[in-house]
Amino acid sequence: AQSVTQLGSHVSVSEGALVLLRCNYSSSVPPYLFWYVQYPNQGLQLLLKYTSAATLVKGINGFEAEFKKSETSFHLTKPSAHMSDAAEYFCAVSVSTASKLTFGTGTRLQVTL
Amino acid sequence: NAGVMQNPRHLVRRRGQEARLRCSPMKGHSHVYWYRQLPEEGLKFMVYLQKENIIDESGMPKERFSAEFPKEGPSILRIQQVVRGDSAAYFCASSPVVPSYNEQFFGPGTRLTVL
C-alpha cells in the first residue's frame, strides 16, 4: 500500500520569499508522484509529476520538485512566492499508470506582503 | 477541448433523499475516478471505472453508495438515503484511453450539503 505525509498543514511566507512544501511518501514499488494545487471552491490542477525520467521536475507557475529516493521525499519549491500562489497544495502518489491516487492531507500556503 | 465536467456544482439534499452526481470525462478519456473531500481533509479515493466496468471500488462505503460509467453518457455517483456525514465535495477525474503516467484531470467538483 502507498501513503503520503505532508508536514505542516499551514505554511506562511512573505511575498518574494522561498516556498518549501514538504512531502514524504511510502510505496512498495517505484512510485509516480504528483503535486496538485487547489484554489478555493475549485477542482485540482496538476502542478507537476515525477515519472522516473528525471529527479528534478519542473512544473507550471515556477514550481519545481526534487525526487529523493534515499529520503523518500518529493518536496515542492518555488524561489519567490507571489500572492497568487496562496492556495492548498496536495502531494499524491500512485503505483501504476492506471490506478487510484493517494493524497496527503494538504498544506495551505499563505503569502503575506 | 473541454475539461472534465461535473454537475451539479452544488447540491442540497435532506436526510433520506437520494443524490446523483454526474461526471463527463474529457474527450478521449475512458478512465474515471471519483474522490471525496471532507471539510479540512485531503481527497480520498472512492472508485475507479472504465466504460461499463468497475475496476477498483475499494474506497466505496459498503452501503448506500454506487457508481456506474455506462457505454453512453456520463459517469454517475449515486448516494441513497443521504446522511449529514455525506456532506462533502465530490471530485471526478479522468485519464486517457492509454494512461500516461497516471496523470488524472480533475473536474470542478460537486459540493453536497445534507440538511
Contact B4 A49 (CB under 8 A): no
What is the reported pLDDT for A29? 87
Q: Are A65 and A71 in contact (CB under 8 A)?
A: no
pLDDT at B18 over 90: yes
pLDDT at B37: 93
If one compares B40 and A13, the residue with the highest pLDDT of the two is: A13
Distance CA B107, CA B114 (A): 21
Least confidently predicted of A51-55, A58-62, B84-88, B98-102: B98-102
Sign of CA pseudo-dihedral B30, B75, B109, A11 = negative
Q: Which of B68, B73, B18, B20 is nearest to B47 (CA)?
A: B68
What pLDDT was estimated at residue A49?
92
Percent of chain B with pLDDT over 70: 98
Contacts of A102 in chain B (CB under 8 A): 45
Q: Lowest-pLDDT range, A85-89, A92-96, A101-105?
A: A92-96
Residue B99 pLDDT: 67
pLDDT at A59: 94
The reply to whether A53 touches chain B by the CB within 8 Å rule is no
Whole-number pLDDT of residue B112: 97
CA distance to partner chain A, nearest, from residue B42 (Å):
4
Q: B102–A45: do the CB atoms touch at under 8 Å?
A: no
Of A2, A19, A20, A23, nearest in space to A73 by CA: A23
Q: Cβ B103–A98 below 8 Å, yes or no?
A: no
Quick check: A1 and A95 in contact, CB under 8 A?
no
Amino acid B26: pLDDT: 93
DSSP track, chain B: ----EEE-SEEEE-TT--EEEEEEPPTTEEEEEEEEE-TTS-EEEEEEEETTEEEE-TTS-SSSEEEE--SSS-EEEEE-S--GGG-EEEEEEEEESS-STT--EE---EEEEE-
pLDDT tens-digit profile of B62-107?
A: 999 999 999 999 999 999 999 999 999 999 999 987 767 778 999 9
> What per-residue confidence (pLDDT) applies to B110?
97
Residue B1 has pLDDT above 60, yes or no: no
Nine-digit cell at B71? 457505454
- Measure CB to CB from residue B101 to each of A43, A44, A49 and give the nearest one: A49
Mutation test of the interface with chain A: which of B4, B43, B57, B58, choosing the one with the most A Cβ atoms within 10 A? B43
Which of A41, A43, A105 has the CB atom closest to B42's CB atom? A105
pLDDT classification of A48: cutoffs 50, 70, 90: very high
Contact B30, B50 (CB under 8 A): yes
Is any Cβ of chain B less than 8 angstroms from the Cβ of A86?
no
Q: Does A49 touch chain B (CB under 8 A)?
A: yes
The answer on pLDDT for A96 being more than 90 is no
Q: Does A106 touch chain B (CB under 8 A)?
A: yes
A82 vs A111: CA distance, rounded Å: 7
The average pLDDT across A21-32 equals: 92
Is the CB of B102 less than 8 angstroms away from the CB of A99? yes
**Nearest Cα to Cα of residue B45 among B102, B7, B99, B115:** B102
Work out the number of other CB atoms within 10 angstroms of the CB of residue A100. 26
Contact state of B103 with A44 under an 8 Å Cβ cutoff: no
